[in-house]
């Protein structure tokens, strides 16, 4: 039984929860309200960052959402979420890294600006620049998805998980979206998956 700590409004927790549900892995979810992780000594002993998520599997504790997804997929999803073909897996993992290094900063600017900040206090220049950047980044993804159904091939892999969660926010928050037909079709495919609906297509706050 895998334990997953963290609040379901966290995109990083959603990655792990979508992964366990997608694979049908037995798990227990322990809710940690916003800010609480930094205040609980027992939690800090597992994850000194005081951030969510953290997982535990038979005594093995792990944090960093993408590392958690990799671990769960490698243990329970060989041949599905975790491709056995080395190149396909490297391709999938590349998109996980790209989400963290490239997508997450403009994503945070948009979320902070349009969801967490009152209209009169918004930095519209920063939000506009982040939206422009996101449109450019989704163009890269759109070109890849012109040739395949999912980000690393014709099946869902770990690569789709962080990207899919970023896409949910993109399509849910009111921003000026350029048309990216292949990216939109891929997102449509994700929205048909019960584990995505349940864990990702939820209220933002
Ligand atoms: N790089 C870390 C980032 C973790 C992180 O920033 N988590 C946020 C939620 S998305 C958090 O814990 N915020 C404070 C809180 O929820 O109390 C990961 O991917 O797991």
23-69 pLDDT per residue, tens = 999 999 999 999 999 999 999 999 999 999 999 999 999 999 999 99
Pocket mutation for ligand 1, best pick of 7, 10, 168 (most atoms within 8 Å of C-beta):
10
pLDDT of residue 79: 97
139 C-alpha vs ligand 1 centroid, how far in Å? 27
Query: Could you tell me if the CB of 35 is within 6 A of ligand 1?
Result: yes
Q: Point out the ligand 1 atom lying closest to the alpha carbon of residue 13.
A: 10
Q: How confident is the model at residue 19 (pLDDT cuts 50, 70, 90)?
A: very high
Query: Could you tell me if the CB of 34 is within 6 A of ligand 1?
Result: yes
pLDDT of residue 54: 98
143 C-alpha vs ligand 1 centroid, how far in Å? 30
Query: Could you tell me if the CB of 145 is within 6 A of ligand 1?
Result: no
Q: How confident is the model at residue 1 (pLDDT cuts 50, 70, 90)?
A: very high
pLDDT of residue 153: 98
> For the chain, what is the mean pLDDT?
98
φ, ψ at 149 (rounded to 5°): -80, -30
Q: Residue 129 and residue 145: Cα distance in Å, rounded?
A: 24
The pLDDT of 12-30, averaged and rounded, is 98
Q: Residue 43 and residue 147: Cα distance in Å, rounded?
A: 44
pLDDT digits (tens, 9 = 90+) for 164-178: 999 999 999 999 999
Kindly list the structural domains of the chain, giving each domain's residue range(s) and its CATH number in brackets, ordered by start: 2-76 (3.40.30.10), 86-198 (1.20.1050.10)
Please check whether residue 70 is in contact with residue 99, taking contact to mean a CB–CB distance below 8 angstroms: no
pLDDT of residue 111: 98
Task: Identify the burial level of 108 via C-beta atoms within 10 angstroms of its C-beta, where 0-12 means exposed, 13-18 middle and 19 or more buried.
Answer: middle
Compute CA distances 60 → 3, 14, 44, 54, 183, whole Å. 10, 20, 15, 11, 37
142 C-alpha vs ligand 1 centroid, how far in Å? 28
Q: How confident is the model at residue 78 (pLDDT cuts 50, 70, 90)?
A: very high
Query: Could you tell me if the CB of 11 is within 6 A of ligand 1?
Result: yes
pLDDT digits (tens, 9 = 90+) for 101-113: 999 999 999 999 9
pLDDT > 70: percent of the chain: 100
Q: Point out the ligand 1 atom lying closest to the alpha carbon of residue 64.
A: 20
The pLDDT of 148-169, averaged and rounded, is 98
Query: Could you tell me if the CB of 10 is within 6 A of ligand 1?
Result: yes
Q: Where are the alpha helices (DSSP H) in the chain?
A: 11-23, 41-46, 65-76, 86-98, 104-111, 124-145, 160-172, 181-191, 194-199
Find all residues with CB under 8 Å of 71, minimum gap 6, and list them. 55, 57, 62
Query: Could you tell me if the CB of 14 is within 6 A of ligand 1?
Result: no
Pocket mutation for ligand 1, best pick of 12, 33, 34, 163 (most atoms within 8 Å of C-beta):
12
pLDDT of residue 52: 98
């Amino acid at each position: 039984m895998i334990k997953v700590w963290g609040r379901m409004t966290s995109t990083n927790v959603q990655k792990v929860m979508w992964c366990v549900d997608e694979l049908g892995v037995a798990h227990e979810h322990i809710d940690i309200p916003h800010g609480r992780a930094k205040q609980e000594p027992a939690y800090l002993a597992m994850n000194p960052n005081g951030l969510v998520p953290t997982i535990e599997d038979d005594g093995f504790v792990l944090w960093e959402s993408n590392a958690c997804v990799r671990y769960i997929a490698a243990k329970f999803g060989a041949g599905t979420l975790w491709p056995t073909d080395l190149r396909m897996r490297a391709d999938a993992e590349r998109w996980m890294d790209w989400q963290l290094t490239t997508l997450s900063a403009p994503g945070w600017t948009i979320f902070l600006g349009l969801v967490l900040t009152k209209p009169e206090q918004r930095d519209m220049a920063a939000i506009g620049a982040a939206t422009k950047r996101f449109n450019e980044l989704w163009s890269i993804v759109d070109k890849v998805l012109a040739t395949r159904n999912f980000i690393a091939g014709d099946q869902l892999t770990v690569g789709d998980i962080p990207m899919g969660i970023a896409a949910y926010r993109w399509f849910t928050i009111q921003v000026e979206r350029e048309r990216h037909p292949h990216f939109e079709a891929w997102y449509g495919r994700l929205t048909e998956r019960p584990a995505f609906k349940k864990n990702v297509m939820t209220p933002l706050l």
